[in-house]
Structure 1
Amino acid sequence: METSIPATKWKKILYEDQGVNDNYVDETFLEELKKNLHVRTYDYWTAARESGTVTQQMCSVCIFVVVFIYMDEHKLSPLILYTVSSILTLIGYIIKEMITSDQEENSNKRTRLDDVKTAVMFVGFSLILCPVLVSLTQTISTDTIYCMSTVMLLSNLLFHDYGPHTAVVSSPLSLNAAIFAAVCLASRLQSPLHAFSIVTFALDIFALWPGLRIELKKKGPIYQNMMSLIVGVIASGALLSVSVIGAAIFICIHLFINFVCPAWLCRLQPYKDNIYGPWDEAVIRDLAMPVT
């Protein structure tokens, strides 16, 4: 069916009868067409550096799993783990304080006394509850515990905040999944002290270490590259001491994410073709704007 041409100049309105079908448009309709308005051009080395955030979190999960294996096989003392993790936590806290001291003071900023109180409360509650953790999952099979822990650690990687604001990002969910996995694995260790040390280590590596990573990343690209290199070497070496095949697979995945995926992203950039025009849905820019 042919569409009739209006006798007068066509207007982009529907409340008047212009003698044409409602879906009629003239040659001026596409004058407002715009393409790729908000496209961000990625540089390969910048993308490779930013992908280090993903591999750093993967390394954290890998290190935690290796530490659990060592404790389960009686190769690592809980006192040594707690002492080393506490020293590293203190060093990290000092570094973070030195970094944030250069920024503007905020009246709502937590004080050192608040941090000490939080640490004391956590240690106290953990010591009280660890005897319960050891016997918490006695009626559940070990295979089920390992399966649940694997799912929770994968959830930690999936929902972790890597920087971009997307719907899937949920830092509380990511942290809770990791702590849940730590509690499940702690219930399979030999004593309350083992459970206490592994839960404390989980909090250090999944809650405190990401915060320090964010602050160091703000200082410059060199810090991001150093963190990716250091934790990558530590995680690969730790996993190599447990499984050669596992270490080889981990290194391949690490290199794929750090170097192949950024190249893939840059190669696909020319194929991006977003269009914008008068057909787009209306967007409310400011919800606080009064209605007139």
Structure 2
Amino acid sequence: MDDQPSEGKKSVPWRKVLYERQPFPDNYVDRRFLEELRRNIRVHQYSYWAVVREAGLVSQQLSCVALFLTLWSYMEQGDVAPSTLLWTGLGCSVLGYSLYEALEGGKGRERTHVADLQSAAVFMAFTFGLSPVFKTLTESVSSDTVYAMSAGMLMAHLVFFPYTQPSLPGSLSLNAALFASVCLASRLPGTLHTFAMLSCALLIFALWPCLLQRLRQAAEWMFLWAAGIVCVFGVVGVGTLWPAGGFLLFVILAVLTLVCPLLLVRLQRHKDNIHGPWDEAEIREDLSRFLS
């Protein structure tokens, strides 16, 4: 394109307007045309270890699903008694609740410990009372269909889990996980097995994310240790049932935690966003008062 005006037109300044005729050719580009161009003014520069820390939440959630499936498999095979799982879950619940209260320090607390205990007792009573119903819920459905639905719901749980910080387990993610838990628990040998499996599902998919959020807010080093321990338990649990599967899970976790953040940081140098007066207008004023 022509970037120089003719000799007789040098005294006429070029203007960036379309509503008036100017003595320049149509393909003329002035040197000031892109003077307001800005590149990557809103790009957030990520550090590798910061991305690894955030990716650890995805890895530990995948490990939670693997750990739940491992416990279900042990229950189905009769290698773990329901009473053992219930007592272990009770101990983990007491330990986690104590840690949660210690990190919270009683600030902004609206419920008493007695109210929390009553809520837990009511939930456990209803779950135990409905266990016979859950046990026979999928009797008329084939096992292949139940397993396929459970796999789909667990995938939905992982996809829709709110990984942003800070965040509690979302309703869609939690409901998908509990739906899969009910489907799988209905395939266990007895009613007590179903009750123990549903209690374990609540502990893993509902209560554990709440404690993990508190750890991210109050004690980040404890969050890193907790996420790492969950990943180790998930790999070891799958490895005891299927060694090749345990190795595959280890590779997936390593790629998610270490390789994907590296690719993100490396590809960041190729990011090229341009900004200028041609951008769409951004409304920065709070319009909530007009919508209320």
Q: Shared topology, TM-score over 0.5? A: yes
Alignment of 1:249-260 (within 5 A): 249-260=248-259
Output aligned runs, 1:271-286, within 5 Å. Answer: 271-285=270-284, 286=286
Contact persistence 1:10–1:18 (CA under 8 A): no
Q: Mind listing any 5+ residue stretches in structure 1 that lack a counterpart?
A: none
Q: Corresponding residue for 1:175?
A: 174
Task: Within 5 Å, give how 1:1-150 maps onto structure 2.
Answer: 10=15, 17-19=19-21, 27-101=31-105, 105-106=107-108, 109-150=110-151
Q: In the superposition, relative to structure 1, how do residues 125 and 25 fare at CA in structure 2: closer, same or farther (>3 Å)?
A: farther
Tell me the alpha carbon deviations over residues 193-245 of structure 1, each in whole angstroms, 9 at most, x when there is no partner. Answer: 11111111101000110111111122344223312321122111111110011
Question: What amino acid does structure 1 have at the position aligned with 2:81?
Answer: S
Cα deviation for residue 128 of structure 1 reads: 1.7
Residue 246 to residue 277, structure 1, CA distance change in 2 (3 Å): same
Distance of aligned partners of 1:90 and 1:31 in 2 relative to their CA distance in 1, 3 Å threshold: same
Q: Which runs of 5+ in 2 are unaligned?
A: none
TM-score under structure 1 length normalisation:
0.86
The SS at the match of 1:31 is coil
Q: Where do 1:190-209 residues align within 5 Å? A: 190-209=189-208
- Tell me the amino acid that sits aligned with residue 277 of structure 2: P
The aligned amino acid for 1:183 is V
Instruction: Give yes or no for contact 1:189–1:195 (8 Å, CA) kept in 2.
Output: yes
Instruction: Kindly indicate whether residue 233 of structure 2 is the aligned counterpart of residue 234 of structure 1.
Output: yes
Per-residue deviation at 1:136? 0.7
Is the radius of gyration larger for structure 1 or structure 2?
2
User: C-alpha displacement at 1:283, in angstroms?
Assistant: 2.4
Q: Distance in 2 between matches of 1:112 and 1:133?
A: 30
Quick check: 1:33–1:276 contact (8 Å CA) kept in 2?
Answer: yes
User: Would you say the 8 A contact 1:52–1:258 is kept in 2?
Assistant: yes
TM superposition score normalised by structure 2: 0.86
Q: Output the aligned Cα RMSD.
A: 2.9
The SS at the match of 1:115 is: helix
Q: Deviations over 1:234-280 (max 9, x none)?
A: 11111111001110100111111111111111111100111222222
